[in-house]
Amino acid sequence: MTDAEVRVDVVIPVYNEAHVLADSVRALRDYLARTMPYSWHVVIADNASIDGTQEVGEALDAEYEDVRYLRLEQKGRGRALKQAWQSSDSDVVSYMDVDLSTNLDAFLPLVSSIVHGGYDVAIGSRLSREAAVTRQWKREFISRGYNLMIKFMFPRRSFSDAQCGFKAVSRRAADALLPIIENNEWFFDSELLLRAEEHGYRVAEVPVEWIEDLDTRVRIVQTALEDIRGLLRVRFTSPVPVKAVTRRDDVAAG
């Protein structure tokens, strides 16, 4: 398969983001058009927004052939990603936060680690030595504390940053893992990585440049409690078997 034949979906999960959605999608399209050797589509996954996000998303869908708007009537970032990824037939599915807080220059290395590097999952890392991060000390402390908790509870895990909103997954890994991921909210990212390594999928980390969005929708205390409950559930339950799913050959299948 040539690079031009590889298909990549770039999902942007959104909730009440009408004020930034159009500018972010246009900036993302410009980057992809300039840099990506692969075929790509942008998917706006709207999880039950109640502002003008739907109108903006539908207008972008109508304006650009390479943009698709997907509406869900239930909230949950994990739920939005599951729906978008499971309804896709692309070779690589990915996502990034709508604020584009992660520098887009890391996106091509992220996807290429799957297409050419033999990895099944690729994640942006704000905690690697090569990363450049600008954020408040409170968020930095919570992030490092959470990832230390993962390291303590899952000492064999290979990844350093579970929560960065910048990830890509091969088709075969997505088909196998998404049905066994229970969380539909913020813990989705962590459960994806833990289940991936549990079943032998290789995880690549790409250092990123990341600037905190002060207009974030994340509720820190609520999300932290959700994450702790999720970690305990995954740690103290038996591994969940995956079912083989047959689709067209995946780029990471070798």
Any catalytic annotation for residue 189? yes
Residue tagged active-site, from 97, 120, 189, 250: 189
30: left (phi > 0), else alpha (psi -120 to 50), else beta? alpha
3-state secondary structure of 135: coil
The single-letter DSSP state of residue 215 is T
- Do residues 187 and 193 touch, judged by C-beta distance below 8 A? no
Q: How many CA atoms lie within 13 A of 123 on its CB side?
A: 22
Which runs of consecutive H residues, i.e. helices, occur in the chain? 21-35, 53-63, 77-86, 107-115, 137-153, 171-177, 188-198, 220-235
Q: Which residues are catalytic?
A: 189
